[in-house]
């Protein structure tokens, strides 16, 4: 049964322990950062930062709304990145996670381009080749970073103090999400984001603010849009890395 | 629940020999040390688990420190702990950073910013010098004695016995353990120090 | 905290005022959210800033910094006017019915007794007392009608705080404020619990103690003290600030909240015991506590014949020696040697620059810490010339929390054990090792002679563990816990302490924490049993909560005088007709200690607050009893303006607390609103801890929160032409700090008496050391203090802001 995480944005307190927990489990170093107006540093995921919490702060006619939106790979049910990766470095697992094999990555950036959420990031600094990195849902079959394969929740879920993250079977979590909507009239917008968006995702979201306002893409954008544009760049990066 | 050896039990029970004999036969229950739920995972199979309490705010969350070869390799919330129930805030989960940090090779190394030597800065000097403990303890003791003896008041102007020095001050710490604070308090009062304060005032 | 974190889930209404749990105590926020999910807890957040906590509030009430008393008295007035207070609780468990001296007055912002002493304003509290009958008993009027009864005095006093007036002072919109009053006062019923959560937003004012009093009065009126889901819950900012306070890292105390002897009041042990021991209340046991402490410290040398070596303790000189006073003395050259032991005053203290300069006057400084803090590096701070600084500096590298073992006490008074995971790196040592070796080194020096060596040579100091480098933590803990002098056996609790010298106990309130639990086979502080019979989250066998393992203090108040719980669903203790059924350790006489006989509820109903001499909660803080004298600045909280304020006091012509402590020097310079038009407040962030001494050396946390910033409202930014991320400078009468502008709608101007007032907010975690240096907010804070506690007024100052 595929696994999933239900993110209830009404319960997130914006502490960002999920971000540190991710680095703690996956041995990811800190990157140099600078000031960000809304305090949500770092702004975006990188090859060393696989999850971020974005802040949404809006003055709605004198009433301030502040929401905290955890973002990471959505682990699509039918992932476009996997289809785009001709190197075979990405695969969709029956357990749900979409995981990468960095040793096969040729840094062509096709996955980035294909991803409706623009998740994949490339490790360019340090030694070794340029490779794609992203959240792997703490699923690392046969590797040392495995949690989900061993029956444990991902590190971020375990760390969350607000109870905003829940790990479980995808079908059961969709059912639970719908129950939460039904049992709390007026609390949520009537949508379980990820149930069907982009063919469905393993990370599911509940919110009281419309998802478009929180930066979630509302419709599938044409994938492979700029394949041609990207190919030379990717090839260049690949060569540069090899030479280094 | 994980079974714990007698040696471990004595360690966790923290009883001196005298107190142990007082217990007679050890009771029915025993401490709860369910194995950290992640302790059996590949990453931590070699690691030692130690229960601790967070060093930051006053919530008192429980955490499990995983260590290998005398270095911290991972920290996670203690799932047995009734306050945090296994979760942690970002500061708490980053506690490992005080001991080891993850470098760009994705490996743990001692936090290079930790001071691991006694340091001394002479009057007017522009740099620190590394020293050893014996030297430092003796030199500090001499400074304490010199200052105390030069400023000690046995009696005040009304002839009341006061036995104090006003020339030494101490700002203590809300980050130290109770037992440490208690001994520091005894130490300071034995010297006659009355300038004592700490974070609680701020 | 009267209660504890888990108990937040039992509240019907939580009012967070002067705290920000989502940011500073995330696990506390978790329990608030648990209550919201499970029982529909309503959350009120009162804060000048729209915080992460406010993001989850049912009602967010903006408030001008420094106007909490007006805000709280307005709710009290609302409760009294609308009869929403908990009548039976108030009559039985507070001093509402006590008659006050008819000469007690309050006029023009001042209480009766205003006078001057040595050129200083002081109060003579003679009239702040109860009326007594000829037998010396306090006169009472249980009908609460007598015009001099506390209830009527309070009612008259707060009647000036109507909604309109309060909102003119606080800047809170009237409709929002009315909702707060209605919702919070809904807890004034037997089956409702209201919880007030506060932190430094309440205390860091020149009337911080009175702010707390206002909270207490409101909670007493609504019957919210001593019950599950209620209480006054001060969230403490450090892992062991509770414990370090219990252990008296404070000039005026000995461990266990015993007064430090004072030369004028306590020349002899007899004087001490006479002056410090009230006839009633649990403090009547003071002789047992102090004499057992002296036995713990001086062992066989302490005998009844030599006042148990009482004279070996230093005595205070009648002056205060708090943080700000210490640095004042240092600046004057009176302090020659200084220990900064796990504290970083160069960033954390008010008026940081004078603090750093004061250390240049020292002969020697000992810093004990993990990293090279700003305090350790003060001699090479930006702008300083090390060659001109003659202070010798010793840096002693310490162990981190999991590199040693010992106990820490959380805000809920749980004393929990931390086991050791790894050795400290290199030559770093535990603080226990450091103090042990340092004491021994000093004692060695005094073996050669020196002034008054007796306390040093004779202090009980025997913590060696054979075969170990580390002192034996068990020996230290046993001494704190207390033991029988003859047998060395640990004491089960403070009830066993004597005043004869037969018991030794380092800190009476910790008695029992190191006593073996007969069922679990471990000392109480190491217990990890998750049994929770009531489902209220008391966890009576998880660690040990002082005093006596009590989880919710004043719990007698959870039942009516006849012992029936006000709310059976939240029962902590109750009388079943013949005996007490107790889920928590009773905070009252439930059983006769000698005979074991049950004490019927009528008796304990007389004194449910066993620590005050009246035995009941104080709506009026009377001058009554040696340990529970009135606050210096009055028996009731009255609104005054912060020392620096943009407006005149609307409540009286008395602008400031007449007793506010203003120190000397550049750090105490006062700014005028003409030059510094904006309110300045300080705050913390979840990613950093206090002065950042540890967290700014944590790569992950520095990554999350790398740079000092200045919070300003979008409206102020527009007015000053400041864009998000611009470098700006904040100026006060003390100095200036730079930072990036954070322009967010979480800050909004407040309408105060028709005038728009802007609030500028500074996080205070940065300094010139660490991975990500930045300016310290405390460079611009001031040496203004509360007259009772001497806590600095960090929360409400004046500033100007400019594009840098």
Mean pLDDT, range A229-235, rounded to an integer = 45
pLDDT per residue over C111-132, tens digit each? 999 999 999 999 999 999 999 9
Confidence category of residue A219, pLDDT binned at 50, 70, 90: low
**pLDDT of C342:** 97
| Cβ-nearest to B38 among A29, A126, A152 | A152
Per-residue pLDDT at B122 exceeds 80: yes
Nearest to C61 by CA among C157, C145, C153, C183: C183
Is C446 domain-assigned? yes
| Cα Dmax for chain A | 59
Q: Residue B9's pLDDT is what?
A: 41
Task: Give the confidence band of C259 by pLDDT, cuts at 50, 70, 90.
Answer: very high
Say yes or no: C746 and C731 in one domain. Answer: yes
Contact A30 C54 (CB under 8 A): no
Neighbours of C675 (CB within 10 A): 12
What pLDDT does A126 receive? Answer: 62
- Dihedral sign for Cα atoms in the order C265, C271, C273, C279: negative
Residue-level pLDDT at C763: 98
Q: What is the mean pLDDT of residues B112-128?
A: 98
The answer, yes or no, to whether residue A197 has pLDDT greater than 90, is yes
Percentage of the residues of chain C whose pLDDT score is greater than 70: 100
Crossing angle between the packed helical segments C68-81 and C174-185, to the nearest 10 degrees: 60
Burial tier of C611 (Cβ tally within 10 Å: 0-12, 13-18, 19+): middle
DSSP structure class, residue C138? B
Q: What DSSP state is assigned to residue C27? A: H
CB pair distance less than 8 Å for A30 and C700: yes
Q: What are phi and psi of A112, to 5 degrees?
A: -60, -45
Residue C423 pLDDT more than 70?
yes
- Cα distances (Å, whole numbers) of residue A158 to A9, A138, A163, B98, C395: 16, 11, 9, 22, 39
Interchain CB contact of B26 with C (< 8 Å): yes
* Confidence check: pLDDT of B23 > 90: no
Which value, in Å, is the radius of gyration of the alpha carbons in chain A?
18
Cβ-contact C176, C167 below 8 angstroms: no
**CATH code of the domain covering residue C198:** 3.40.228.10
Size of interface A-C (CB pairs under 8 A): 102
When pLDDT is averaged across residues A60-74 and rounded to a whole number, the result is 95
pLDDT digits (tens, 9 = 90+) for C665-680: 999 999 999 999 999 9
Among C315, C408, C532, the residue with its CB nearest the CB of B164 is C315
pLDDT of residue C102 exceeding 70? yes
Q: Residue C624, CB half-sphere, CA atoms under 13 Å: how many?
A: 28
Comparing alpha-carbon positions, the chain B residue that sits nearest to C265 is B160
Does residue B26 carry a pLDDT above 80? no
Q: What is the domain class of A3-29+39-76+152-214 according to CATH?
A: alpha beta
Is it the case that residue B11 has pLDDT exceeding 90?
no
- Give the closest-approach CA distance of B137 to chain A in angstroms: 37
The gap from C-alpha A41 to its chain's centroid, in whole angstroms, comes to 16
Question: Looking at residue C82, what DSSP letter applies?
Answer: T
Contact of A35 with chain C, judged by CB distance below 8 Å, is answered with yes
Between chain A and chain B, the number of residue pairs with CB atoms below 8 A apart is 74
Angle between helices C174-185 and C163-170 (to 10 degrees): 120
Residue-level pLDDT at A241? 45
- Asked if A128 is an interface residue toward chain B (Cβ–Cβ < 8 A), one would say no
Residue whose C-alpha is closest to residue A60's, from C62, C171, C745: C745
Position A223 pLDDT exceeds 50: no
Q: What is B39-110's CATH number, 3.60.110.10, 3.30.200.210, 3.65.10.10, 3.30.70.20?
A: 3.30.200.210
Assess whether C195 and C100 both reside in one domain: yes
Radius of gyration of chain B (CA): 23
Question: Are the C-beta atoms of B95 and B55 separated by less than 8 Å?
Answer: yes
Interface of B with C in 157-196 (CB under 8 A): 158, 160-187, 189-196
Whether residue A233 has pLDDT greater than 60? no
Which of C:393-452 have CB within 8 Å of B?
A: 393-397, 400-412, 414-423, 425-432, 435-439, 441-442, 444-446, 450-452
Those of residues 112-151 in B touching chain C at CB distance below 8 A are 113-126, 128, 132-133, 136-145, 147-151
Q: What is the ipTM of this complex?
A: 0.97
Instruction: Give the CATH number of the domain where residue C336 resides.
Output: 3.40.50.740
| Helix, strand, or coil (residue A237) | helix
Is C506 in Cβ contact with B52 (below 8 Å)? Answer: no
**Is B76 close to A161, i.e. CB distance below 8 A?**
no
**How close C53 gets to chain A, by Cα (Å)?**
7
Closest to C151 measured CA to CA, from C606, C531, C617, C561: C617
Confidence check: pLDDT of C173 > 50: yes
Domain layout of chain B by residue ranges:
1-33, 39-110, 115-150, 152-202
Q: Is A61 annotated as a binding residue?
A: no
Identify the pLDDT of residue A125: 62
CA distance A150 to B38: 9
C112 and C33 both lie in a single domain: yes
Average pLDDT score over residue span A16-37: 97
Q: Please tell me the distance in Å from B199's CA to the nearest CA on chain C.
A: 7
Alpha carbon of residue C494 to chain centroid: 23
Q: How many CB atoms lie within 10 A of CB B199?
A: 27
Locate C110 and state its tokens.
């001042």
Counting the structural domains of chain C, the total is 4
A85 annotated among ligand-binding-site residues: yes
More confident call, B37 vs C445: C445
pLDDT for B13 beyond 80: no
Q: Domain ends where: C204, C234, C264? A: C234
Q: Where are the domains of chain A?
A: 3-29+39-76+152-214, 80-139+221-243
List, in sequence order, every residue forming a beta bridge with C740; answer none if it has no partner.
C709, C727
Of A16, A127, A146, which is closest to B90 when you measure between CB atoms? A16
- Give B34's pLDDT tier (boundaries 50, 70, 90): low
Residue C714 pLDDT exceeds 80: yes
SS3 for C522?
A: coil
Residues of chain C that touch chain A, judged by Cβ-Cβ distance less than 8 Å: 22-23, 26-27, 29-30, 33-34, 37, 50, 52-56, 60, 685-687, 699-707, 709, 714, 724-725, 740-746, 748
Q: Locate tokens 């105060």: which residue?
A: C752
135-154 of A, contacting B, C-beta below 8 A: 143-147, 150, 152
Spatial distance between the Cα atoms of C476 and C435, rounded to a whole number of angstroms:
12
Residues A162-188, mean pLDDT to the nearest whole number = 97
Tell me the average pLDDT across C83-106. 98
Residue C556 falls within a domain, yes or no? Answer: no
pLDDT at C52 over 90: yes
Q: Is B123 buried (19+), middle (13-18) or exposed (0-12) by CB count in 10 A?
A: middle
Any chain C CB within 8 A of the CB of A44? no
Q: By the CB < 8 Å criterion, does A19 face chain B? A: yes
Contact partners for chain B, using 3 or more CB pairs closer than 8 A, are A, C
Per-residue pLDDT tens over the stretch C469-525? 999 999 999 999 999 999 999 999 999 999 999 999 999 999 999 999 999 999 999
Q: What is the mean pLDDT of residues C698-710?
A: 98
With contacts defined as CB-CB under 8 Å, which chain B residues touch A147?
38, 41
Q: Is A135 annotated as a binding residue?
A: yes
Q: CB C26 to CB A13 under 8 A? A: yes
The mean pLDDT value of chain C amounts to 97
pLDDT at residue A237 is higher than 70: no
pLDDT one-digit tens code per residue, B189-201: 999 999 999 999 9
User: What span, in angstroms and rounded, lies between the C-alpha atoms of B44 and B41?
Assistant: 6
CA distance B59 to C28: 7
Report angle CA C277, C99, C224 to the nearest 5 degrees.
75
Cβ-nearest to B41 among A15, A127, A152: A152
Which residues 147-166 of chain A have a CB within 8 Å of chain C?
A: 161-163
Give the start-end residues of each E strand in C370-513. Answer: 392-397, 406-409, 414-418, 483-484, 503-504
| CB contact (8 A) between residue C700 and residue A38 | no
pLDDT digits (tens, 9 = 90+) for C302-361: 999 999 999 999 999 999 999 999 999 999 999 999 999 999 999 999 999 999 999 999
Q: Establish how many alpha carbons lie within 13 A of residue A8's alpha carbon, considering only the half-sphere containing its beta carbon.
A: 23
Query: Which among B33, B133, B179 is the nearest to C477, CB-wise?
Result: B179
Please state, in angstroms and as integers, the Cα–Cα distance from residue C348 to each residue in C252, C734, C765, following that order: 21, 16, 8
Beta bridge partners of C114: C123
Residues C154, C55 share a domain: yes
* pLDDT (mean) for C527-537: 96
Q: Is C802 on the interface with B (CB under 8 A)?
A: no
Same-domain pairing of C264 and C391: no
Helices (H), A71-188: 80-84, 110-114, 155-159, 170-183
C375 with C494, same domain: the answer is no
Chain B partners within 8 Å of C335 (Cβ): 166-169, 195
Task: Give me the mean pLDDT over the C360-372 stretch.
Answer: 98
Query: What is the C-alpha R_g of chain C?
Result: 26
User: Quick one: average pLDDT of C595-624?
Assistant: 95
Q: Which residues have a Cβ under 8 Å from the Cβ of C325 and sit 6 or more positions away? A: C319, C663, C790
User: Residue A228 pLDDT more than 90?
Assistant: no
Residue C418 C-alpha, separation from nearest chain A C-alpha, in angstroms = 20
Q: Does B60 touch chain C (CB under 8 A)?
A: yes
* Angle (CA) C28 C34 C39, round 5°: 130
Q: Are C493 and C515 in contact (CB under 8 A)?
A: yes
To the nearest whole angstrom, how far is the Cα of B87 from the nearest Cα of chain A?
A: 4
Closest alpha carbon within chain B to C538: B82
Mean pLDDT of the A131-157 span: 96
Alpha-carbon separation of residue A121 from A105, A131, A132 (angstroms): 12, 8, 5
A12 is known to lie in a ligand binding site: yes
Q: Helix H segments across C391-483? A: 431-447, 454-458, 473-481
Res C278 pLDDT > 60: yes
C457 interfaces chain B, CB cutoff of 8 Å: no
3-state secondary structure of C575: strand
pLDDT at C636 over 90: yes
A60 inside 8 A of chain C by CB: no
The answer to whether residues C705 and C735 belong to one domain is yes
Mean pLDDT of B152-163: 98
Is the Cβ pair A15, C22 closer than 8 Å? yes
Res. B19: pLDDT tops 70:
no
Q: Across residues B103-132, what is the average pLDDT? A: 97
Could you tell me which residues come within 8 angstroms of residue C702 by beta carbon, excluding any fewer than 6 positions away?
A30, A33, C695, C696, C770, C771, C772
| CATH entry, A80-139+221-243, from 3.40.50.150, 3.30.1490.190, 3.90.1150.10, 3.30.70.20 | 3.30.70.20
**Contacts for C800 with CB less than 8 Å, ≥ 6 apart:** C675, C676, C677, C678, C730, C731, C732
* Nearest chain B alpha carbon to A125: B104
Q: Is C688 on the interface with B (CB under 8 A)?
A: yes
Q: Which residue of C has its CA nearest to B123?
A: C390
Flag whether residue B55 sits within 8 Å of chain C, measured between CB atoms: yes
What pLDDT does residue C67 have?
98
Domain that holds residue C751: 661-803
H or E stretch including C365?
strand C364-369
Q: Do A3-29+39-76+152-214 and A80-139+221-243 come out as alike in CATH topology?
A: yes
């Amino acid at each position: 049964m595929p696994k999933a995480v239900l993110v209830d944005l009404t319960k997130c307190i914006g502490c960002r322990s999920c971000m540190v927990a991710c680095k703690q489990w996956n041995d990811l170093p800190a990157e140099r950062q600078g000031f960000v107006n809304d305090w949500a540093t770092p702004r975006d995921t990188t090859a060393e930062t696989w999850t971020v919490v974005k802040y949404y702060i809006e003055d709605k006619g004198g009433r301030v709304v502040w929401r905290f939106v955890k973002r990471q790979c959505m682990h699509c049910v039918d992932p476009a990145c996997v289809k785009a990766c001709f190197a075979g470095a990405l695969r969709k697992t029956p357990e749900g996670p979409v995981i990468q094999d960095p040793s096969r990555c040729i840094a062509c950036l096709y996955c980035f381009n294909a991803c409706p959420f623009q998740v994949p990031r490339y490790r360019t600094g340090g030694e070794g080749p340029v490779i794609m990195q992203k959240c792997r849902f703490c699923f690392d079959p046969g590797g040392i970073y495995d949690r989900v394969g061993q029956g444990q929740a991902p590190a971020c879920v375990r760390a969350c103090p607000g109870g905003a993250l829940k790990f479980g079977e995808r079908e059961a979590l969709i059912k639970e999400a719908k129950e939460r909507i039904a049992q709390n009239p007026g609390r949520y917008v009537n949508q379980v984001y990820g149930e069907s968006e982009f063919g469905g995702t393993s990370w599911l979201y509940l919110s009281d603010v419309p998802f478009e306002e929180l930066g979630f893409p509302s419709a599938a954008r044409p994938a492979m849009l700029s394949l041609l544009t990207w190919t030379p760049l990717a090839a260049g990066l690949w060569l540069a890395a090899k030479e280094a | 629940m994980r079974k714990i050896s007698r040696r471990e039990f004595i360690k966790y029970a923290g009883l001196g020999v005298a107190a142990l004999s007082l217990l007679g036969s050890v009771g029915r229950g025993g401490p709860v040390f369910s194995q950290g739920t992640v302790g059996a995972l590949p990453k931590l199979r070699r690691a030692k688990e130690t229960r601790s309490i967070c060093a930051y705010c006053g919530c008192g969350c429980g955490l499990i420190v995983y260590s290998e070869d005398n270095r911290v390799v991972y920290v996670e919330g203690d799932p047995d702990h009734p306050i945090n129930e296994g979760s942690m805030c970002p500061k708490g989960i980053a506690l490992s950073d005080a001991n080891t940090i993850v470098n760009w090779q994705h490996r743990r190394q001692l936090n290079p910013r930790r001071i691991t030597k006694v340091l001394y800065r002479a009057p007017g000097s522009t740099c620190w010098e590394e020293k050893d403990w014996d030297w430092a303890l003796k030199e500090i003791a001499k400074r304490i004695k010199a200052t105390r003896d030069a400023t000690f008041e046995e009696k005040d102007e009304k002839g009341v016995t006061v036995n104090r020095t006003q020339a030494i001050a101490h700002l203590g710490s809300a980050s130290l353990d109770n037992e440490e604070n208690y001994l520091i308090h005894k130490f300071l009062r034995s010297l006659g120090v009355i300038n004592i304060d700490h974070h609680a005032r701020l | 905290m009267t209660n504890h974190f888990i108990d937040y889930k039992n509240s019907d209404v939580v009012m967070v005022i002067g705290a920000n749990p989502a940011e500073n105590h995330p696990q506390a926020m978790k329990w608030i959210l648990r209550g919201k999910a499970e029982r529909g807890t309503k959350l009120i957040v009162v804060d000048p800033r729209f915080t992460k906590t406010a993001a989850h509030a049912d009602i967010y009430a903006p408030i001008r910094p420094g106007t909490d008393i007006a805000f709280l008295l307005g709710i009290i007035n609302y409760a009294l006017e609308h009869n929403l207070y908990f009548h039976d609780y108030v009559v039985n468990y507070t001093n509402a019915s006590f008659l006050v001296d008819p000469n007690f007055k309050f006029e023009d912002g001042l209480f009766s007794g205003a006078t001057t002493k040595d050129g200083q304003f002081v109060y003579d509290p003679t009239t702040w007392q109860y009326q007594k009958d000829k037998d010396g008993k306090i006169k009472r009027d249980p009908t609460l009608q007598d015009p001099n009864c506390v209830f009527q005095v309070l009612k008259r006093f707060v009647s000036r705080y109507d909604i309109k007036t309060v909102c003119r002072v606080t800047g809170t919109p009237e409709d929002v404020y009315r909702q707060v009053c209605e919702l919070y006062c809904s807890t004034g019923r037997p089956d409702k619990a209201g919880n007030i959560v506060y932190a430094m937003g309440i205390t860091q004012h020149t009337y911080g103690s009175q702010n707390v009093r206002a909270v207490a009065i409101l909670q007493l009126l609504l019957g919210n003290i001593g019950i599950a889901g209620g209480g006054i819950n001060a969230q403490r900012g450090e892992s062991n600030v509770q414990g370090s306070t219990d252990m008296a890292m404070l000039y005026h105390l000995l461990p266990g909240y015993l007064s430090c002897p004072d030369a004028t009041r306590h020349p002899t042990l007899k004087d001490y015991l006479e002056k410090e021991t009230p006839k009633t209340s649990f403090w009547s046991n003071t002789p047992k506590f102090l004499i057992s402490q002296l036995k713990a410290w001086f062992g066989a040398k302490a005998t009844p014949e030599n006042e148990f070596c009482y004279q070996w303790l230093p005595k205070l000189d009648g002056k205060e020696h708090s943080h700000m006073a210490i640095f004042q003395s240092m600046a004057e050259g009176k302090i020659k040697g200084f220990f900064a032991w796990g504290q970083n005053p160069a960033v954390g203290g008010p008026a940081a620059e004078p603090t750093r300069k004061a250390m240049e006057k020292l002969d020697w400084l000992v810093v004990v810490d993990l990293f090279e803090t700003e305090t350790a590096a003060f001699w090479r701070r930006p702008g300083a010339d090390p060659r001109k600084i003659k202070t010798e500096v010793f840096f002693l590298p310490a162990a981190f929390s999991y590199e040693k073992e010992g106990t820490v006490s959380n805000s809920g008074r749980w004393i929990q054990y931390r086991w050791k995971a790894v050795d400290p790196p290199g030559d770093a040592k535990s603080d226990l090792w450091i103090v042990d070796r340092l004491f021994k080194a000093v004692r060695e020096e005094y073996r050669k002679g020196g002034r008054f060596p007796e306390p040093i040579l004779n202090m009980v100091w025997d913590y060696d563990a054979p075969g170990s480098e580390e002192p034996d933590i068990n020996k230290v803990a046993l001494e704190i816990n207390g033991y029988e002098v003859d047998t060395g056996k640990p004491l089960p609790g403070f009830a066993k302490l004597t005043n004869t010298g037969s018991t030794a106990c380092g800190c009476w309130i910790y008695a029992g924490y190191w006593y073996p639990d007969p069922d679990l086979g471990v000392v109480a502080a190491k217990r990890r049993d998750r049994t929770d019979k009531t489902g209220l989250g008391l966890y009576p066998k998880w660690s040990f909560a002082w005093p006596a393992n009590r989880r919710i203090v004043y719990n007698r108040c959870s039942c009516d005088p006849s012992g029936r719980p006000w709310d059976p669903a939240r029962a902590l203790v109750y009388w079943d007709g013949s005996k007490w059924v107790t889920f928590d350790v009773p905070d009252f006489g439930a059983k006769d200690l000698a005979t074991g006989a049950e004490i019927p509820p009528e008796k304990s109903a007389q004194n449910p607050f066993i620590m005050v001499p009246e035995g009941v909660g104080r709506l009026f803080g009377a001058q009554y009893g040696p340990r529970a004298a009135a606050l210096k600045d009055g028996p009731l909280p009255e609104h005054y303006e912060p020392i620096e304020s943009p407006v005149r006091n609307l409540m009286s012509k008395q602008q400031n607390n007449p007793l506010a402590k203003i120190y000397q020097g550049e750090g105490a310079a006062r700014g005028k609103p003409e030059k510094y038009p904006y309110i300045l407040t300080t705050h913390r962030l979840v990613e950093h801890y206090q002065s950042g001494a540890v967290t700014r050396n944590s790569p992950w946390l520095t990554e999350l929160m790398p740079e000092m910033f200045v919070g300003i409202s979008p409206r102020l930014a527009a007015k000053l032409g400041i864009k998000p991320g611009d470098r700006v400078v904040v100026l006060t009468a003390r100095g200036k700090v730079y930072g990036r502008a954070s322009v967010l709608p979480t800050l909004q101007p407040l309408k105060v008496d028709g005038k728009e007032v802007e609030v500028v907010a500074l996080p205070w975690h940065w300094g010139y050391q660490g991975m990500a240096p930045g300016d310290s907010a405390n460079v611009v804070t001031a040496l203004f203090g509360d007259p009772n506690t001497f806590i600095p007024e960090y929360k409400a100052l004046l500033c100007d802001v400019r594009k840098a």
